[in-house]
Amino acid sequence: MSRIGKSPITIPEGVTVDVKDNTMTVKGKLGELSQEFSDIEIKIEDGTITMERSSESKNHKAKHGLYRALLFNMIEGVSKGWTKELELVGVGYRASNQGQVLDLALGYSHTIVMLIAPEVKIETVSEKGKNPIVKLTSFDKQLVGQVAAKIRSLRKPEPYKGKGIKFVGEVLRRKAGKTA
């Protein structure tokens, strides 16, 4: 019983949803996204979208909730957008950007230069006395998460001092360290 799949999706103003040949396309003010789907019937009526599965098999139940969540994320993305914030914790850790090029100093002997996808807007915030923050914004939730995970993988937070790249608001599991 997919509770997520059963709940309807309301379409906000300025967003159009088209379903043709097992492909759903969502257009909004921020961009356009499309996703292929199968085994699910999508009905659009009076500004709401409902999804129904063809049978009660385990595979169809799983896809019911999955495609509903994907469609909801696409609609949310093209209307409002998605944002991820990364915090660089550590002495000497710096971040700067020139357009779509992110330059990171993470305690290695060299700086790390990353070219970010053009769909993702990048912004770096460096205030005196605070940790540098990298803000990623896009209409594609999957792409924002993937780019954020790639940046985080360059220097994951360690459990003793908490140094590394972490998401803003992420709670790290800390360890005590050596006892003398």
Q: What is the pLDDT of residue 140?
A: 95
Percent share of the chain, pLDDT over 90: 78
| pLDDT category of residue 4 using cuts at 50, 70 and 90 | confident
pTM of the predicted structure, to 2 decimals: 0.89
Long-range contacts of 40-48 (CB under 8 A, 24+ apart): 40/64, 40/67, 42/67, 42/71, 44/11, 44/17, 44/19, 47/10, 47/11, 48/8, 48/9, 48/10, 48/11
Instruction: Encode pLDDT of 111-134 as tens digits.
Output: 999 999 999 999 999 999 999 999
2 pLDDT exceeds 60? no
Determine the average pLDDT of the residues in 33-38: 92
Sketch out the chain's domains with CATH numbers: 3-79 (3.90.930.12), 82-167 (3.90.930.12)
